[in-house]
Amino acid sequence: MPIVDLGSGNFESTVYASGLTLIDCWASWCGACKTFEPVYRQAAERHPEHTFGKLDTQKEKDLVKELGIENIPSLLIFRDGILLFRQPGYYSETELEDIVRQAESLDMNEVRAHIESENQKDEG
């Protein structure tokens, strides 16, 4: 599956779809973003069962603000519409593969139960 260019028009429909969605937050002037690009593309090729997207932080400033992205490159991972991972930095091929494996192996019922528990604590 090709890498999807994400913006305000397709962001929600992409991340709220079932499955794993990885998002590379980048900018054209960012040297580290350019270094991470081939690693990210290779991961997308190895994992066609997942959605890989790119978010241009220069074009999508409102979305970047809403997501709380302060540094680039930043990697976000959503699964079934739930944000699991948001971390700035460059990742090696090995690190990125490990992050993908961890996201794949999560029991989403446990994640949902944890979120519900935290929401109840906040309300009480």
Task: Dump pLDDT digits (tens) for 60-115.
Answer: 999 999 999 999 999 999 999 999 999 999 999 999 999 999 999 999 999 999 88
Domains and CATH numbers, the chain: 4-123 (3.40.30.10)
Q: How far apart are CA 46 and CA 41, in angstroms?
A: 9
What pTM was computed for the model?
A: 0.92
pLDDT for 43-64, tens place per residue? 999 999 999 999 999 999 999 9
Closest to 58 measured CA to CA, from 87, 35, 23, 28: 28
What 3-state class would DSSP assign to 51? strand
∠ Cα 28 32 35 (to 5°): 90
